[in-house]
Every structure is written in structure tokens, then in C-alpha cells.
Amino acid sequence: MSLQRLPLTTAQRGVWMGGLLRAQGGTFNIAEAIELRGPIEPDSFRAALAQVSREAETTRIRIGLGMDGPYQDVLPELRFDPPFLDFSTHPAAEESARTWMTAHLRRPVDLACDPLWYSALIKLEASRFIWFHCCHHIALDGFSAGLIVARVAELYTALAEGRDAPPASFLPLRTLIEQEERYRAGARRETDRLYWRERLALPPEAVTLASPSSPPRPADPLLQALGFVSRTAAFDERLKERIRAAAQEHGSTLPQMFTALLVSYIFRCTGQEDLTIGMPVTGRLDRMMRRVPGMAANAVVLRFAPSAGVPFPDLLAQTRRAMHGALRHQNFRYEDLRRELGFTEMERHLSRIAVNIEPFDYHLSFGVHPARNVNLSNGMMEDLTIFVFDRQDGEGISLALYANPALYDATALDRHLARIQLHVEAILDDPGLPLSAYPFFGLAERAEILRLGEKAAPLEGEEGLLDALAGHALRMPERVAVSDSYGNVTYRMMYDLAGRCAETLAWQGVGPGTLVAIRVPRDRRQIVAMLAVALCGAAWLSLDPDGPPGRTAAILDDARPALILTGEETIA
């Protein structure tokens, strides 16, 4: 093999440019720890790695910069010897291995001098090993990593069984570049461009789940070096099968169902009725592209129109349509889409939150020994990405939140994971309800939020308004509390509406010492809003929604409330 020089794909150029612009550190490495459950022969494993590196050109690239911009050289051989690390004699072998892998992830990578694809075999005990599989995102995307892992398993198994492996099906890296050139010159690109211009005309403000009451904070040096903080929860096989059954009942795929469930949760967090969510895609529409390991991944933007009264099946139907259209038109590059829509400033986002469903088949074995994948890194995060790892190995699903450590911490992510599971199970119990009917907080968290109101205590000897309302809701739930032009509201309805609104306000940072401006029509919504603010222990300022705009602006400028309630979806 001899050295060959190639231009970068557009996806690679995006990663390269991101590295230039990223001043505050963070890794572009994607990595996984693949647990091998059985005794592994190190020499055979390294032979399998060496063979796959000869077959997959992207494992041997280096990136350089010339007069015409960046380029990639495909080298004739690997620039590292895959190490074998024996931690089996360490008192805490697994912790030692994790520390070593994290340290490797944190290392700065020189694109011209360092290996961009890297593997190590780690021994934890006689029958338990870890394959540390790591690469810079400029060399591999998630889809390609799956191709590499499957091929190494195939090669190792053939060696263990003393037979020849099937021939490699990988195509040269040049194929990605040639396919991209044909696409950019063809009519399909214009069709895709028109689709996205229509779909994302006048896009809404991108939402975040970072708490508005918590300003950006300096990240822990370790997390800053990585560029992300992550937390993971397990959905066992029983819950996965419930989700699959619900998807089939509604004529949807498992990825569509998961996406709809997560979009429902994001809507309950934000209340935004014009909602955009990012979704990573492979950028590979044909069989040929799926045979080329390399960096071709793209990102698309899904747009939804949820509201409090929309039943979940309607949101699922929206999701099916959005994902179907996005996948058909996924080859139009996200970088080009930003330019088309005039998003020239780095600070402007078409979406801040992404949902990444990864239904890759990791039901693999190395010889007769099964493997189990654990994701370690997906690179640095701008805001938040929700990953759903379905390894199809009978061990359920991993739901992982990867987030910017300047915006989120582990505690916040754990809360979101608990709320998501509660929300998902509630939808599965009764999928026909409107989105506002599903719980957002668990019982313990809800009780804690409502206890905030106790800090606004009544005068001694007097029963507080909130206690009175709760007592009436308990003793006479069906008695009318408020009547307006829409009809009657019972005490039970009033307490429930106020409680739901208080949950939303509390998540947005409303609490004791906070002033909330209320500018809603003077009907049940006014009462619910005032009760919700009181339940949070905060104070309210009532504004006339039909009053002179100048007068309202002057009041707001003088009072400087932390939040202004105007939307009906927040209240009823």
C-alpha cells in the first residue's frame, strides 16, 4: 500500500472547522468500552485489529493543511501498536480501567501526527476483558464505528475457530467523496434544498432544558477537558417491549415512538408550541455509501407543533411525518442549511436539543464469548443530546443524557432521567390523553415543590389560602370554585390546574423572592396563575392584558419581574 491524498468530505470539514473554533477545550473523540465476557487471546485480537485497519482506509488517515485548505492522507499502515493492558492484579480493576480510558479521551489530538483511530485490549479478570475503541470524529462517525466493531468480531471469531474470515465488504474512502461530488452536482440536492427551506421557514427560537435560574457556571476541569457531562439510565427489556408494542399499535417504528415520547417530555418542560429538535443521521441513502467506513454523518432538524390539548397519538403522527421527510432529504448538509436560512452567527441555533436513536445490532460475539457495549464519549456538547442506545442484545435500552457541563450538572441530568421515565410510563399506561395530562414530576418532587408555598406563611392564627384550597379540594372536590364564560371550575380542577402550572413555574426558577408578572384575561386563568405563583412561594404582579402598551412597558421596566405569564398553555 502507498500513501494517497484525498480532499475532506463536507462532514470532515465541519469537524475540522469546529476544532479551530473551539477555544475552551473539549474532545472530538467518540469512544466505547466493549465488554468481552470470556477469555480473549491478545495476539489474535491484535491480529484482527491489524486486519481491519488494512481493510478500512479511514483507520489510517492523517489530516494536513495545504495551500488549498485541509486534506487527508491515507497512510500505508497504522501509526500505533494496539496495547494490551492487564489490570487484573489491581484491587479496583474496573475503576483503574475507567480512569485510564478517561485520561486517554482527555488528551489533545494532533490531527497530523497522532493516530485518529485507536484501540486497546484491557484485562479485568481471567474471563472479562474490555476493548477500548476510540477514534477522532473526523475519521469515523457512529455508523462507521458499528461497521468496524462488527468486522473485528467477525475476524477474531474466524481466527479463534481456525478458519478464513469472509472477505471484507468495505469500499475505499474515495467513494464517499465521489458520491458527495455527484450529489452536489445533481438535481436531488435542489429538491432537498427546497424541502428544507419550506419546512424550516421562519424557524422558532431553539429551546434548552438548562434551568433559566442557573446562569452558566465554570465546569470542573476534568469535564471541561472532555466537553461534556453524562448520565445514563436503563430501560429494562420489559419497558422496551411495552414501547415496541405501543409503537406497533400506532403503526410506528421504535425510533419514531422513542422520538415522540422524548419530544412530548421536552414540550412539557418548555411549553413551546413551535418546537425544533435536532437529529443526527448517517448521511448514507444507498447501499454503496453504507459500505464505506468514514465520516459522513449529518444532522437534520425536526419541527413539531405540540400543544397542551394535543393527544399523544397526534404528536406521534407528527413525528412519523417529520422523520420520514427528514430521512428522505438527509443528504442536504446542515452547514448548507444554516447558510440557506441566514444563520451566519455561531450563537444562533436551529436547535439546541438533539435526540439520537441508535438501534445498532451489537448482538456480537468474539469466538463463543458475548460482548456488551458501554458508550463512553460522543464528543463535546453545545447543549444537550438525548441518546437511546438499543443494542438489540436482550438487555434492554440505555437512555443517556450528554450535556454541556457549563449548563448542566449530574444532579440536573439525573432529575431529567427520572422525569422522562415517569413521563414515558404514564403515556404507555394511557396513550390517548392530551400532552398536558401526563405527569411531569414524581410524587416526592411534586410534594417538595408545593411545600415551597409554606415559606409564604399566613399570619398567626389564620388559615392560609393555599391550605384552604387544598382542604376544599379534599373535602368538597366537585363543588364549584370559580365560574366564568367558559363554565364552572371545581375545587379539584382548580387545585390540579394550579399545581400543574406551579410545577412548570418552579422548573423555570420561580420560588421565594421571585416576582412574576401575570398578563392574562380576567377569567379562570387569572385565578389559576395567582394560585400557581403562590404555590411556588413567589409574588405576583397583575397586569391588564388590554391596557396601554406604553403603560405596561413602564410597569415592567420598573418592577423587573423574573417571568411574565402570558400563554394559556402554561395555565390551563
The predicted-structure confidence for 366-392, as pLDDT tens digits, reads as follows 999 998 888 899 988 999 999 998 866
Same-domain status, 74 and 208: no
Q: What is the tens place of the pLDDT at every residue in 294-335?
A: 999 999 999 999 988 899 999 999 999 999 999 999 999 999
Residue 179 falls inside a structural domain: no
Give domain status of residue 318, yes or no.
Answer: yes
**Is 373 domain-assigned?**
no
Each as own residue / partner, the long-range contacts of residues 499-502 (CB below 8 Å, 24 or more positions apart, any chain) are: 499/446, 499/450, 499/532, 499/535, 500/436, 500/440, 501/528, 501/529, 501/531, 501/532, 501/570, 501/571, 502/449, 502/450, 502/531, 502/532, 502/533, 502/535, 502/536
Comparing 544 with 420, the larger pLDDT belongs to 420
408 and 521 part of one domain? no
Mean pLDDT to the nearest integer, 208-214: 73
Based on the fold, state whether residues 427 and 496 are members of the same structural domain.
no
Give the global pTM: 0.79
Residues of the domain holding 119? 4-160
Both 290 and 411 in one domain: the answer is: yes
More confident residue, 18 or 279: 279
Residue 268 lies in a domain: yes
pLDDT at 489: 81
- Would residue 244 count as lying in a domain? yes
Cα distances (angstroms) measured from residue 125 to each of 36, 91, 327: 11, 11, 44
Q: Report the number of distinct structural domains present in the chain.
A: 3
> 396 and 451 share a domain?
no
Of 120 and 537, the structure prediction assigns the larger pLDDT to 120
Residues 137, 197 share a domain: no
Ranges 172-186, 481-495, 554-568: which has the least confidence: 554-568
Both 431 and 460 in one domain: the answer is no
CA distance 355 to 344: 24
CATH number at residue 39: 3.30.559.10
Together in a domain, 489 and 391? no
Note whether residue 181 is domain-resident.
Answer: no
- The DSSP secondary-structure symbol of 148 reads H
Q: Please indicate, yes or no, whether residues 105 and 202 belong to a single structural domain of this protein.
A: no
User: 393 with 525, same domain?
Assistant: no
Q: Kindly report the average pLDDT of the chain as a whole number.
A: 86
**Does 515 reside within a domain?**
yes
Instruction: Calculate what percentage of the chain has a pLDDT beyond 90.
Output: 56
d(CA 498, CA 290): 52
Instruction: Specify the CATH number for the domain of residue 403.
Output: 3.30.559.30
Last residue within a domain, chosen from 392, 409, 440: 440
Average pLDDT of span 471-482: 73
Q: Are residues 415 and 493 in the same domain?
A: no
